[in-house]
């Protein structure tokens, strides 16, 4: 006979099992390192798609399935994050593709608040680049373990150990390769699997497919067979593996999770070489979802009642309906579509009737989700990045910081008859976090000031204003490059200074804008008692 306590005991056990199956990670890198191509290669190996969107030849290259914005397709870059979910073996993978361009690093930062691990993608020829370094530092600051993938090994590039030395020297992270390439960059034949103390345990040989559009066939050989097949090329890889082991560069799970080491895999996302190994490594080594602390520092465990954080809001993904999609990361409990939850910032109920997973422009209804899952909520007009949703036990998680803007411009509609649509569009893009919107009484609402990390954000704004709201706009750059947080008392005096303007951001923060560091230094020297707090280059 079943015990009366069995059903309630089963619920947390089942929830814990679902949590253990999840792996939620982001792909981060410098522009053009192959993030979107890798995203599709991973989906291809998980059999979510039958053919990758990238085909051989730059001129004939299709836009990847995860790139949905017309601007992304035209330029061949990602300017917004995309969340994909698929099953791989016994695990559920939540993969978040992010923009690589530094102008959109704020969007990437938001994604890094919603994941449990990161794949750092490095171009084999270019090595570590500025944006990669910046994003790695953000991941380190957030305590996110990093798996390194050295991509494009099918093209000429640096020597494998040189790239590993660069990681050690420039970011202080110890790389611990799980696989080493057989063949120099540009002659990618396969991978050597490293065992204990750097011993070669297997040779995985890859065969090219037409344009890399389908999964590359793999053949497995013993080290003895590999030596006969590849000769000196195999000997070189095996010797490099032993050298790494002698230097202490073997995988240690505890050091990896603590952020001291990073497992390394060499790959070619374009040819689908090494992609299965990346997926297997994520499943085996990346941590499952864990709880997080609320604004008061109190922990919320994954099996506590439902709660979630909004990390991304995006409109215009469905041009037929012009809806607004809020991406939430489930933190705790079980989500069921249709449940009524509470919006922590307003205290109001929020109905979750329309819940989706999103793959580019394709949408699938979600009935149930668990901690680690990323779910899109449709027509979430009240939600913004950093907001919290919860059921039962009240909780509010810390807000997501905003980046320090470095570029400023005024925006106005070309014709006055479009003013209503103009205002609606500005409010929409502001709430999504596409740009920060600044206002003051002098300039008025008809010509707000846009603040951005990079100038390409302005292009996104004008393109979306036209395509989604049919509002043609005119942008005028402003001669400011620095912003400092101030207070109402200081704002009065700052407004009197030539070359300084004070604005109120939508969240109520007062920002003083300066043309350059010399103007700022002059004001600080002449008026030392004013409040002028720096905004951190990464985030406030």
Q: Write the pLDDT tens digit of every residue in 138-147.
A: 788 888 999 9
The answer, yes or no, to whether residue 240 has pLDDT greater than 60, is yes
Average pLDDT over residues 15-24: 96
Q: Is residue 97 within 8 Å of residue 24, measured between CB atoms?
A: no
The pLDDT of residue 360 is 59
| Annotated binding residue 97 | yes
Say if residues 134 and 163 touch (Cβ distance below 8 Å): no
348 has pLDDT over 70: yes
101 labeled binding residue: yes
Closest to 339 in 3D by CA, of 369, 300, 298: 369
What confidence category does residue 409 fall into, taking pLDDT thresholds of 50, 70 and 90? very high
At residue 135 the predicted structure's pLDDT band, cuts being 50, 70 and 90, is confident
Query: Is-contact 435 450, C-beta < 8 A?
Result: yes
- Residue 53 binned pLDDT confidence (cut-offs 50, 70, 90): low
| pLDDT at 96 (0 to 100) | 81
Q: Are 372 and 328 in contact (CB under 8 A)?
A: no
Task: Report the CATH superfamily, name and number, of domain 293-390.
Answer: Translation factors (2.40.30.10)
Instruction: Yes or no: say if 447 and 473 are a contact pair by the CB < 8 Å rule.
Output: no
Please say whether the beta carbons of 191 and 220 come within 8 A: no
Strand partners, 194: 200
Location of structure tokens 């012009």: 322
Characterize the bridge pairing of strands 355-359 and 374-378. antiparallel
Instruction: Give the three-state DSSP class for 498.
Output: coil
Residue 381: per-residue pLDDT = 82
Q: Give the pLDDT of residue 63.
A: 45
**Tell me: the pLDDT tens digits for 350-381?**
999 999 887 656 778 999 999 999 999 987 88
Q: How many CA atoms lie within 13 A of 238 on its CB side?
A: 16
Q: What is the largest CA-CA distance in the chain?
A: 83
Cβ contact 160:146 at 8 Å: no
Q: What pLDDT, on a 0 to 100 scale, did the predictor assign at position 291? A: 92
Q: Calculate helix-pair angle for 456-469, 419-432, nearest 10 degrees.
A: 130
**What is the Cα 3 distance to its own chain's centre?**
46
107 in Cβ contact with 28 (< 8 Å): no
* Encoded tokens for 293: 């602390």
∠ CA 26-396-345, rounded to 5°: 105
Give domain limits for the chain.
20-285, 293-390, 407-534
Residues 159-215: tens digit of each pLDDT: 999 999 999 999 999 999 999 999 999 999 999 999 999 999 999 999 999 888 899
Q: How far apart are CA 528 and CA 188, in angstroms?
A: 61
What number of residues does the chain have? Answer: 540
Q: What is the pTM of this model?
A: 0.81
* Architecture of the domain defined by 20-285: 3-Layer(aba) Sandwich (3.40)
Task: Report the chain's C-alpha Rg in angstroms.
Answer: 25
Per DSSP, 125 falls in state: T
From the list 93, 114, 81, 128, the residue with the least C-alpha distance to 23 is: 93
**What CATH class is the domain 407-534?**
alpha beta
Task: Tell whether residue 99 is among the known ligand binding residues.
Answer: yes
Question: Which residues are 293's β-sheet partners?
Answer: 299
The answer, yes or no, to whether residue 335 has pLDDT greater than 70, is yes
């Amino acid at each position: 006979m079943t015990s009366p306590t069995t059903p309630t005991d089963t619920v947390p056990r089942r929830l814990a099992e679902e949590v253990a199956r999840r792996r939620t990670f982001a792909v981060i890198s410098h522009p053009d390192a192959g993030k979107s191509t890798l995203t599709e290669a991973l989906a291809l190996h998980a059999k979510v798609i039958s053919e990758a969107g990238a085909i051989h030849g730059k001129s004939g290259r299709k836009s990847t399935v995860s790139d949905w914005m017309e601007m992304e397709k035209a330029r061949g870059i990602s300017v917004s994050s995309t969340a994909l979910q698929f099953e791989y073996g016994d695990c559920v993978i939540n993969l978040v593709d992010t923009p690589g361009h530094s102008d959109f690093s704020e969007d990437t930062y938001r994604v890094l608040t919603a994941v449990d691990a990161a794949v750092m993608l490095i171009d084999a020829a270019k090595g570590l680049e500025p944006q990669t370094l910046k994003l790695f530092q953000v991941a380190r600051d957030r305590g996110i373990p990093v798996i390194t993938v050295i991509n494009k090994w099918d093209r000429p590039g640096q020597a494998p150990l040189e790239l590993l030395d660069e990681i050690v020297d420039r970011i202080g992270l110890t790389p611990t390769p799980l696989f080493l390439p057989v063949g120099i960059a540009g002659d990618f034949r396969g991978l050597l699997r490293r065992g204990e103390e750097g011993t070669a345990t297997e040779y995985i040989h890859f065969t090219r497919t037409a344009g890399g559009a389908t999964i590359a066939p793999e053949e497995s050989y013993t080290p003895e067979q590999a030596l006969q097949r590849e000769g000196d090329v195999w000997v070189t890889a095996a010797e490099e593996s032993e050298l790494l082991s002698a230097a202490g560069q073997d995988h240690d799970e505890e050091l990896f999770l603590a952020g001291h080491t990073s497992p390394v895999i060499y790959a070619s996302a374009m040819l689908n070489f090494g992609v299965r190994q990346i997926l297997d490594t994520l499943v085996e080594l990346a941590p499952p979802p864990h709880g997080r602390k609320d604004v008061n520092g109190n922990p919320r465990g994954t099996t506590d009642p439902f709660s979630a954080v909004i990390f991304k809001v995006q409109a215009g993904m469905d041009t037929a309906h012009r809806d607004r999609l809020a991406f939430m990361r489930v933190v705790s409990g079980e989500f069921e579509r249709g449940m009524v939850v509470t919006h922590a910032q307003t205290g109001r109920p929020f109905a979750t009737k329309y819940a989706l997973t999103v793959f580019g422009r394709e949408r699938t209804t979600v009935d149930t989700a668990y901690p680690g899952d990323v779910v899109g909520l449709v027509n979430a007009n009240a939600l913004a990045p950093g907001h919290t949703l919860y059921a039962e036990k009240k909780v509010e998680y810390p807000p997501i910081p905003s980046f320090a803007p470095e570029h400023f411009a005024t925006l106005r509609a070309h014709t006055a008859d479009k003013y209503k649509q103009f205002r609606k569009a500005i409010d929409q893009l502001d709430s999504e976090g596409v740009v920060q919107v600044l206002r003051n009484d002098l300039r008025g609402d008809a010509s707000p000031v846009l603040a951005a990390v990079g100038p390409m954000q302005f292009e996104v704004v004008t393109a979306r204003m036209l395509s989604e709201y049919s509002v043609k706009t005119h942008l005028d750059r402003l001669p400011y490059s620095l912003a400092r947080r101030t207070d109402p008392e200081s704002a009065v005096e700052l407004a009197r200074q030539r070359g300084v303007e004070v604005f109120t951001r939508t969240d109520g923060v007062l920002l003083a804008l300066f043309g350059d560091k010399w103007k700022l230094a002059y004001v600080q020297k002449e008026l030392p008692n004013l409040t002028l707090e720096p905004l951190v280059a990464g985030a406030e």
